[in-house]
Amino acid sequence: MNAEMPVNADRLWRSLMDMGQVGALPHGGCCRTALSAEDKAGRDLFVRWCREAGCEVEFDVVGNIFARRPGRDPARAAVATGSHLDTQPHGGKFDGIYGVLAGLEVVRALNDARIRTEAPIDVVVWTNEEGVRFGPPLAGSSAFAGVVDVEQVHAGMTLDGTTVRDDLEATGYLGREQPGERRFDCFVEAHIEQGPILEAERKTIGVVTLVQGLRWLRVTVTGMDGHAGTTPMDRRRDALLAAAEMVLAINRIAREADEWARLTNGKFEIEPNSGATIPGRAVFICDLRHPEAATLDALDRRMQEAMRGIAQAAGVDIEIERLMNKPPVQFEPKVVETIRQSARQLGYASIDMLSGAGHDAMNVARVAPTGMIFVPCKDGLSHNEAESAEPEHLAAGAQTLLQTLVARAGRAT
Ligand SMILES: [Zn+2]
């Protein structure tokens, strides 16, 4: 533990608990969907804390918040960190919030130690990471990275019938700064792991090297509706039966591939969905993930071949559409190495790992050198009110973040 610029574990924990009171739910979680009244209250609290810590706070046109701790050299690009404050409807107190408040704790700890950096440090809140009240998810970081147009985000309708622009205006977070105006030296996002690996391996810090790729296929199988009592078994064109065979076959392919492949058929619809009618139509989603683009391609191809073969043998028609294709994102090796060294110097047990979930950092990686720091969370649970983490692990992640940001920003005094 570096005694020179220590983060304050109690203060970080108190801030997390205080933020957890905003939009609090009965079972310990939070509901602060993006740009709702609760999200506004959470944002206002964060902005107040940042100003009290001496930061200059600005918003951009999609409501991303940038709290800047000035550096000695204002001409230098900011060393940036942050995450999101919005939650799922039954969200926890840590997913996203930890990354934002770990950034704030870095600022407070540097203030305590009277340390000035050469480059400024920006703590960022990205708008609408979760995509609950309106789409797309990761909206703020997508706009920042130029993946979506500002107009597209503004015109989006919310569940409450307002536009996103209306909400930005109503909450007071419609800024003038355009995406791309602000340059980052780098961006480092701290986040709870949302999975079980660090806890199982008894490690404190996960050095994230990449975010795995994700692909969605929608498979439509068309057979023929028929009478359950009068149609002989050998004269049926049962879409569900063929689809069921497909699900088994592609799961076998995923299991036999390697330990990294992930396939989920989480959504399934059949028509007419009636007890006495042979299903004439089945539609299902394949959610396929893998860290390597080439393997993702190969698995996609093999699965499609297998499903087409089954359709032909069963005498049904098949249509396969690709709904989403997000390639794996490799984080910048120098940033990753700085995180790894920081954890090592501080004496924390760490491992390299990949992220199974998407994060704002994967968008920012398109426009700035980027990395991520994971800390363990209880039972790997997230998107759940019971989401929890140990104060000492959260502090270790914030301390690693501080070392990393200072290493990038350079010390002036
Ligand atoms: Zn998150």
The predicted-structure confidence for 242-280, as pLDDT tens digits, reads as follows: 999 999 999 999 999 999 999 999 989 999 999 999 999
Q: Could you read off the pLDDT of 87-97 as tens digits, one per residue? A: 999 999 999 99
Alpha carbon of 305 to ligand 1 centroid (Å): 35
H or E stretch at 68: strand 65-69
H or E stretch at 381: none
Alpha carbon of 94 to ligand 1 centroid (Å): 8
Q: What is the DSSP string of 211-239?
A: E-EEEEEEEEEE---EETTTS-GGG---H
Q: How confident is the model at residue 324 (pLDDT cuts 50, 70, 90)?
A: confident
Residue 196 has pLDDT above 70, yes or no: yes
Alpha carbon of 117 to ligand 1 centroid (Å): 28
Alpha carbon of 138 to ligand 1 centroid (Å): 9
- With CA atoms as reference, report the closest residue to 168 among 95, 14, 59, 274: 59
Token pair in block for residue 102: 């770990």
* pLDDT of the residue at 34: 97
Alpha carbon of 104 to ligand 1 centroid (Å): 17
Alpha carbon of 33 to ligand 1 centroid (Å): 13
Alpha carbon of 191 to ligand 1 centroid (Å): 7
Helix axes 97-112, 37-52, angle to 10 degrees: 10
Q: Could you read off the pLDDT of 97-121 as tens digits, one per residue? A: 999 999 999 999 999 999 999 999 9
* pLDDT of the residue at 198: 97
Alpha carbon of 189 to ligand 1 centroid (Å): 10
Alpha carbon of 154 to ligand 1 centroid (Å): 22
Alpha carbon of 41 to ligand 1 centroid (Å): 19
Helix axes 37-52, 9-20, angle to 10 degrees: 150
- Report residue 329: phi and psi, to 5°: -115, 120
Give residues whose Cβ lies within 5 Å of ion ligand 1.
Answer: 95-96
